[in-house]
Amino acid sequence: MRAILFIFLWLSFCFSKDTIMVSLPVEKYFVKQIVQDKFDIQPLVVEEPYGYKYIPSTLAYITSETAVIYFKIGLWDEENWLKNIKSKNPNIKIYDFNHNITLDEDYINTWLDPINAQKQLKNIYKFMAQYDPKNEEFYKKNYLKAFNHIASIDYQIRVYMQHTHSKIFISFNRSYYYFAKRYKLKNIVQTVDLLSYTDKTAIDVINQIERENTKIAFIPTNYFPKSLVKHLKKDLKYKIVKLSVIDSDWEYIVFTLAKSLQTTQKENNVHPNNKKRVR
């Protein structure tokens, strides 16, 4: 029995993968494109109503010798995490996911712009080739394939955008800044705290949606104010899309944005004069 256990542990050790740590789940999508199954990829945080929450279980990965790389992205408390990580694992390599990408007003959600996403793929490829030069051709091949795939996604989104007449949408934070900038959309940001929504706030938001000639708003998946839902249910012409911009399925994020805008704007054009105010 002991011999069998020893063999099992030995095999587990031999075939265990090194771990790449990332700050956000969405980074996992891009890293996976380059490294495929050569590494385990573990995000450090999850989304919650008040922002981002550090996952305590990732401490086991951080302190493990198998955690060899960390891709930082610029979260507000990330420098403190980096100090903690380096103190527990001084040999870990730290790379910048947004290297050579210009941040506008410190907005970090750069990945919602497919052109930035291609730059992020290049960053990962370059860093991995530096870390693991014997597999550089493998990483390069994956990079070129993923680069072209995102180019095709960018093309599809541009086609969607050609069929929208009113390129305006509402959001409740500035997460969509880079997507809106790339595709020349107008993003009206509601600065009211979602957790402090009242009936009056909800009505004000709906009236603003009407004034701006749009019927769509994107809202975080981690919180959905009941007061807003109550008023929106009275009129089905409004479309509220719950979306997490840090989800590990990046393609789902950008296609949801593009398709939701296209569908809603088509609906808007069917009833151009239907502009009832909410009271």
How many domains would you assign to the chain? Answer: 2
Which stretches within 173-225 are classed as H helix?
A: 177-182, 199-211
Examine residue 195 and state whether it is found in any structural domain, yes or no.
yes
In whole angstroms, what separates CA 264 from the centre of its chain?
Answer: 22
Residues 26 and 151 reside in one and the same domain: yes
- Select from 142, 158, 174 the last residue of a domain: 158
Choosing from 103, 132, 158, the residue where a domain stops is 158
My answer on whether 126 and 186 are in the same domain is no
Tell me, yes or no, whether 26 lies in a domain. yes
Measured distance CA(261)–CA(185) in Å, rounded: 10
CATH number at residue 175: 3.40.50.1980
Does some domain include residue 239?
A: yes
Tokens 């000639």 locate to: 213
Structure tokens at 184: 């020349």
Per-residue pLDDT in tens (0 to 9) along the chain, 279 residues: 545 434 433 334 344 789 999 999 999 999 999 999 999 999 988 776 556 666 766 666 777 778 899 999 988 778 888 888 888 889 999 999 999 999 987 788 999 999 999 999 999 999 999 999 999 999 999 999 999 999 999 999 999 888 876 688 888 788 999 999 999 999 988 766 656 666 677 777 777 777 777 778 888 776 666 666 666 555 556 677 889 999 999 999 999 999 988 865 444 433 333 333 222
Nearest CA-CA partner of 260 in 193, 192, 179, 150: 179
Q: Are 131 and 179 contained in the same domain?
A: no
Q: Hey, what's the torsion of the CAs at 151, 155, 160, 165, to 10 degrees?
A: 120
Report the alpha-carbon distance of residue 88 to residue 40 in Å, rounded: 19
Residues 152, 191 share a domain: no
Asked, for residue 276, whether it belongs to a domain, the answer is no
Is 278 a domain residue?
Answer: no
For residues 136 and 193, membership in a common domain is answered with no
- Residues 114, 98 within the same domain: yes
Predicted TM-score (pTM) of the model is 0.82
Residue 277 lies in a domain: no
Do 59 and 178 lie in a common domain?
no
How far, in Å, CA of 210 to CA of 113, rounded? 27
Identify whether the C-beta of residue 157 lies closer than 8 Å to the C-beta of residue 258.
Answer: yes
CA atoms of 24 and 163, how far apart (whole Å) = 32
Residue 36 neighbours by CB distance under 10 Å: 11
- Asked, for residue 275, whether it belongs to a domain, the answer is no
Rounded Cα gap, residues 123 and 132, in angstroms: 14
CB 41 within 8 A of CB 20: yes
What's the residue count for the chain?
279
Same domain, 25 and 131: yes
Q: How far apart are CA 168 and CA 157, in angstroms?
A: 15
Instruction: For residues 131 and 201, state if they share a domain.
Output: no
54 and 191 belong to one structural domain = no
Same domain, 171 and 259: yes
Is the residue at 179 inside a domain? Answer: yes
> Do residue 51 and residue 153 come from a single domain?
yes
Domain that holds residue 93: 2-158
Q: Is 91 exposed, middle or buried (0-12, 13-18, 19+ CB in 10 A)?
A: exposed
Question: Which residue type does 233 have?
Answer: K
Last residue in a domain, options 137, 158, 179: 158
Q: What pLDDT was estimated at residue 230?
A: 62
